[in-house]
């Protein structure tokens, strides 16, 4: 292949639109559209993310040889037609409501790409679950691995088992719509009063408050009535409990009766019943995934497994995979949901269709970066009061001092992270030893539910000191995709990052991947004896993670974040009120 082969991956029109640019097989830029538009889970054509990718490489669309789209629109439209014909006349109004967006954009992807990007090259349409599979296998460290994809639905497929060998990917088993683990989880998410395709992780966190014993949790047996699970992990939903296949609502009245009450209204009290339902759902999800993975190991004979699809973001389950299944090694890319399919589609075109070599995803900081000059210009133009650190050592020392002194620090450094987790580039940092910090962050900063836990960030070499981790620790612990039990002797010492069940969704940090962040955590450890910080995403409830200096400053000023460490500058909120 030519020296500079560029492939642009695009995902859009459903949720979590994104763009990824691959250069000679390596991912050089990737971002979600929401970060630029400030519309959470933005579905629109990712024109801003595409512009960023091209500008980062200082190229134009004329330098891009191929574009890869993350699904086959006609096949997805076929499924839409079929499901509404099968339920006619129940879904007639929903079908009519969906048609304008299909006629306007979803069936006109090629025209949109040609018109909006002025692109004249080849466009490849990659099946959705193949894009998911490629997104995790091709950038993984494995030459061969079992592949499992689980999400709501692609075109028709909801779950697959496959195998990857070098650059080849084969999906050999699948489950089709309307049976879907992802849609089951989303239905209960809606029933519990949370937003679909946005708040499933809240249900995962809430589950820890419920009864974890299947024999004592009555909703475990009740929910087992809505899904028939076979020994090999194949499953079928009892569709009388659902409405998502014909309506714009998910739970049916029959499901409400089964679960002893109506859909919870948002912002109303969460009861013990709701907690038990969340716990029952999580147990059923884990039981089903265990069977799927054990069967995948049986039919592929692989020691390695890669996961993708939105369900692969269930970090509580991810932390149990190597204990519960025969697999020895696990890999999941940072954006395992639909946003990550732009990467998968581009990688599939480069490595599998065109025969290019595979490249490991070694850098996860793939978004925009702002120079000190650009940041200072923004600060001066807006008459913002700030000071400048003399050097990196002063930045690390002063920031560690602020954190250990109880300050909440907005941390804006380097290139923005890829995926839905803040990984030390656009983060809010605080002291986990402060027993009141979790409530302060939830109520006064994040403006979110009090039951939500916070993640600990710890140097990779120190993780096993505080957590009951897998040995060896999977690489993906760096991506905040694993929940592990906190060792009992440390739970009282870092209370603000210990969930109600004693667990923590840790992020491990390496000096080579994020040296400034790593040194900061180490410096915190020098001051208080514990190299751990609270790391939560730099945003407030309902908004995307910040992208620009303007976003970061606005977030600080509209919350009770005490200060902002942005590039080499320090800004205190109180000085700018």
Those residues whose C-beta lies under 8 Å from the C-beta of residue 547, and which sit 6 or more positions away, are 31, 35, 36, 367, 368, 416, 426
Average pLDDT for 538-551: 96
CB-based contact 68:124 (threshold 8 Å): yes
The answer to whether 72 and 127 have CB atoms below 8 angstroms apart is yes
Q: How does pLDDT run across 389-408, given as a tens digit for each residue?
A: 999 999 999 999 999 999 99
Domain pair 6-138+337-353 / 181-332, same fold: yes
3-state class percentages of the chain: helix first, strand second, coil last, to nearest 5: 40, 20, 40
Chain segment 38-73, per-residue pLDDT in tens: 999 999 999 999 999 999 999 999 999 999 999 999
CATH 3.90.870.20 corresponds to the domain 372-576: yes
Candidates 3.30.420.40, 3.40.190.10, 1.10.630.10, 3.40.630.10; correct CATH number of 181-332? 3.30.420.40
- Name which CATH class applies to 6-138+337-353: alpha beta
Query: Tens of pLDDT along 218-265?
Result: 999 999 999 999 999 999 999 999 999 888 878 999 999 999 999 999
Q: What is the DSSP secondary-structure string of 236-255?
A: EE-GGGB-TTTSS--B-HHH
pLDDT greater than 50 at residue 288: yes
Q: Which two tokens stand for residue 148?
A: 């499992």
Q: Quick one: CA dihedral 231, 236, 242, 248, positive or negative?
A: positive
* 141-196 per-position pLDDT tens digit: 999 999 999 999 999 999 999 999 999 999 999 999 999 999 999 999 999 999 99
Question: Could you tell me the residue ranges of all domains in the chain?
Answer: 6-138+337-353, 181-332, 372-576
**pLDDT for the residue 63:** 97
Residues facing residue 565 across a β-bridge: 411, 570
User: Is pLDDT above 80 for 372?
Assistant: yes
CA 511/CA 527 separation, integer angstroms = 19
Buried b (16+ CB within 10 A) or exposed e, 492-507: ebbbbbbbebebbbbb
What number of helices (H) and strands (E) belong to the chain? 20, 22
Cβ-contact 9, 25 below 8 angstroms: no
Mean model confidence pLDDT for the chain: 96
pLDDT for the residue numbered 1: 42
CA distance 66 to 137: 21
pTM of the model: 0.96
Q: Residue 451: phi, psi to the nearest 5?
A: -80, -5
Mean pLDDT of 410-424: 98
- Given a contact cutoff of 8 angstroms between Cβ atoms, the answer to whether 547 and 538 are in contact is no
Whether the predicted pLDDT of 2 surpasses 70: no
Q: pLDDT at position 247, please?
A: 84
- Cα separations (Å) of 34 from 54, 114, 153? 17, 22, 21
* Cα–Cα distance, 138 to 141 (Å, whole number): 8
Q: What is the mean pLDDT of residues 465-484?
A: 96
Tokens linked to 257: 């009766």
What digits encode the pLDDT tens for the residues 311-364? 999 999 999 999 999 999 999 999 999 999 999 999 999 999 999 999 999 899
Select the more confidently predicted residue: 89 or 125: 125
- Encode pLDDT of 510-532 as tens digits: 999 999 999 999 999 999 999 99
Q: Going along 464-572, which residue ranges are E strands?
A: 484-485, 503-504, 507-509, 533-537, 563-566, 569-572
- Residues 308 and 348: their CA atoms lie apart, in Å, by 14
Percent of the chain with pLDDT over 90: 92
Give per-residue pLDDT as tens, 103-128: 999 999 999 999 999 999 999 999 99
Encode pLDDT of 64-78 as tens digits: 999 999 999 999 999
For residue 84, CA distances in Å to 80, 104, 154, 155, 186 come to 6, 20, 17, 15, 20
Please report the pLDDT score of residue 373 as a whole number.
98
């Amino acid at each position: 292949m030519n020296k500079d082969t560029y492939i642009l991956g695009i995902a859009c029109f459903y949720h979590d639109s994104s763009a990824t640019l691959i250069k000679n097989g390596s991912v050089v830029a990737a971002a979600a559209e929401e970060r630029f538009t400030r519309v959470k889970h933005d579905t629109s054509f990712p024109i801003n993310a595409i512009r960023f990718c091209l500008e980062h490489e200082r190229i134009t669309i004329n330098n891009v040889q191929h574009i890869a789209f993350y699904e086959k629109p006609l096949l997805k439209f076929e499924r839409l037609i079929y499901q509404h014909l099968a339920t006619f006349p129940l879904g007639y109004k929903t079908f009519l409501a969906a048609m304008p967006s299909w006629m306007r954009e979803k069936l006109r992807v090629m025209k949109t790409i040609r018109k909006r990007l002025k692109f004249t090259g080849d466009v490849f349409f990659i099946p959705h679950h193949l894009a998911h599979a490629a997104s995790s296998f091709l950038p993984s460290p494995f030459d061969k691995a079992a592949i499992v994809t689980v999400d709501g639905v692609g075109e028709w497929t909801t779950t697959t088992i496959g195998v990857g060998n070098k650059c080849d990917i084969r999906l050999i088993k699948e489950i089709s719509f309307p049976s879907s683990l992802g849609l089951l989880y989303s239905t209960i998410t809606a029933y519990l009063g949370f937003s679909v395709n946005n708040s499933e992780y809240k249900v995962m966190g809430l589950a820890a408050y419920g009864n974890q014993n299947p024999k004592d949790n009555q909703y475990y047996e009740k929910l087992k009535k809505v899904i028939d699970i076979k020994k090999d992990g194949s499953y079928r939903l009892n569709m009388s409990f659902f409405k998502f296949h014909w309506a714009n609502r998910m739970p049916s009245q029959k499901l409400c009766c089964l679960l002893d009450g109506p859909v919870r209204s948002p912002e109303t009290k969460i009861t013990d019943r709701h907690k038990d339902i969340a716990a029952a759902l999580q147990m059923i999800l884990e039981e089903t995934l265990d069977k799927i993975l054990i069967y995948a190991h049986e039919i592929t004979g692989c020691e390695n497994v890669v996961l993708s699809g939105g369900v692969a973001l269930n970090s509580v389950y991810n932390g149990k995979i190597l204990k519960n299944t025969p697999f020895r090694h696990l890999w999941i890319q940072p954006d395992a949901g639909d946003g990550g399919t732009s990467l998968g589609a581009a990688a599939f075109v480069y490595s599998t269709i065109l025969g290019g070599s595979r490249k490991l995803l070694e850098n996860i900081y793939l978004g925009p970066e702002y120079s000190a000059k650009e940041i200072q210009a923004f600060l001066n133009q807006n008459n913002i009061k700030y000071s400048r650190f003399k050097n990196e050592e002063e930045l690390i020392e002063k920031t560690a001092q602020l954190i250990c002194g109880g300050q909440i620090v907005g941390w804006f450094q380097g290139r923005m992270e890829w995926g839905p987790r803040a990984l030390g580039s656009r983060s809010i940092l605080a002291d986990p030893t402060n027993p009141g910090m979790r409530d302060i962050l939830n109520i006064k900063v994040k403006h979110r539910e009090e039951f939500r836990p916070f993640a600990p960030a710890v140097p990779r070499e120190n993780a096993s000191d505080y957590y009951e981790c897998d040995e060896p620790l999977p690489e993906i612990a760096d991506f905040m995709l694993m929940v592990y039990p906190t060792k009992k002797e440390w739970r009282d010492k870092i209370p603000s990052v210990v969930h109600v069940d004693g667990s923590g969704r840790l992020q491990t940090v390496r000096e080579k991947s994020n040296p400034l962040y790593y040194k900061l955590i180490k410096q915190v450890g020098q001051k208080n004896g514990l190299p751990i910080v609270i790391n939560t995403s730099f945003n407030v409830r309902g908004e995307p993670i910040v992208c620009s200096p303007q976003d970061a400053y606005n977030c600080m000023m509209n919350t009770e974040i005490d200060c902002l460490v942005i590039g080499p500058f320090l800004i205190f909120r109180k000085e700018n009120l």
